[in-house]
Amino acid sequence: MNTSTLSAPSCGSVAPSVKQDFSLPASIIYYMTKNPSTSKLYSKMIQSCKYFFEKNSILVVYRMHNGTHICSNSDEECQENDEKCCINLDLSKIKSKIWLTNELHILSDSSNLLSLLRSKIYRSDITFLTIYEQRILFDDFKFFASSVTEVELRMVKIVHKNGSYVLLENILGAFPKIEKFTFAFNSNISVVTSSTLQNIINLQNLEFLHHFDFMCIPEIFDVKDFSDFIEYFDDVFCFFEFKENVSQEYKNQLDQLIDTIIESQIHGHVIWYPGQNPMKRKIMENRLKN
């Protein structure tokens, strides 16, 4: 097979030091450079010849914390390396694009971090997403949600461009492959309405869902809606933790739901609120182990 030498005349502006013979036409090599099919393939390409990185500079990142700490290895590999494979970076200064392959964790107050990160992304294939205490534009959020299977959102405010809050059912509906969903409510309950739980039941993207965690739940839902919710998701783990300031009347209604759960013999459903009957809570928790 004829070879084509990749140099400045054949593939555009390449550093003078780069000259590599390939058994493929230059046009195909150039296309491969600009359109790597997988992150593993791209990593092998840049290891074989620096031309690929110079023409399409991408940082392959297995996981990222707070936009400042990245690693290209799995957790196990990273621990074996004593985290020497991890790198700290200034996201605002890097010129390379980023290919996220597994995890993104934003755990501190970093204003507009998700928007900044989105502008740097070549591709996002993350399956794990954790966000704490952030105000996020819904468009940015949906960009990262498309591949996620497990998400944890705590004290997060997700808003439309006009500043209005995105409802919880629309947040959950942004994940086409969701398997585990954890959400902690904050003091602002604008993300929910009295119809939220029923709207979640009507979502069409929950075929893979096996785990629900709702924490710090406000006294806004009818307890019967939780009963209908649990009945509908009878094969899904559901953990509902309610706020400390729910009324005694509401607690009495929750107790009735707890009795129904215990009598049903269904495993994987737990209702928790401060001051509840410890024996009944233990029964529900013990069923999780069986």
Nearest to 261 by CA among 241, 225, 234: 234
Q: What mean pLDDT, rounded, does the chain reach?
A: 86
Cα distance between residue 33 and residue 4, in whole Å: 15
Q: pLDDT tens digits for 236-267?
A: 999 999 988 889 999 999 999 999 999 987 78
Q: What is the DSSP letter of 13?
A: S
Stretch 55-73: mean pLDDT, rounded? 87
Q: For position 137, what pLDDT does the model report?
A: 94
Q: Which of 1-15, 216-230, 241-255 shows the lowest mean pLDDT across its residues? A: 1-15
| Phi (first) and psi of residue 29, to 5 degrees | -60, -40
Does 16 reside within a domain?
A: yes
Asked if residue 254 belongs to a domain, the reply is no
Reported confidence tier of residue 1, pLDDT bands at 50, 70, 90? very low
**Tens-digit pLDDT profile for residues 131-169:** 998 889 999 999 999 999 999 999 888 999 999 999 999
Does some domain include residue 224?
A: no
- Once rounded to an integer, what is the mean pLDDT over residues 88-110? 88
With respect to residue 47, please indicate whether it lies within any of the assigned structural domains: yes
Angle at 105 between CA 57 and CA 209, to 5 degrees: 110
Q: How many domains does the chain have?
A: 1
Which carries the bigger pLDDT value, residue 54 or residue 21?
A: 54
pLDDT on residue 87? 86
The confidence score (pLDDT) of residue 25 equals 83
Q: Tell whether 288 is covered by a domain.
A: no
The whole-number pLDDT of residue 22 equals 67
Query: Does 46 fall in a domain?
Result: yes
CB 110 within 8 A of CB 134: yes
Start-end of H helices in the chain: 8-11, 26-34, 39-48, 50-55, 75-80, 113-120, 138-145, 168-172, 196-201, 223-232, 248-264, 278-287
For residues 208-232, average pLDDT? 92
Q: What is the reported pLDDT for 6?
A: 37
Q: What is the pLDDT of residue 14?
A: 43
The whole domain housing 43 covers: 1-55
Is residue 5 included in any domain, yes or no? yes
Asked if residue 24 is part of any domain, the answer here is yes
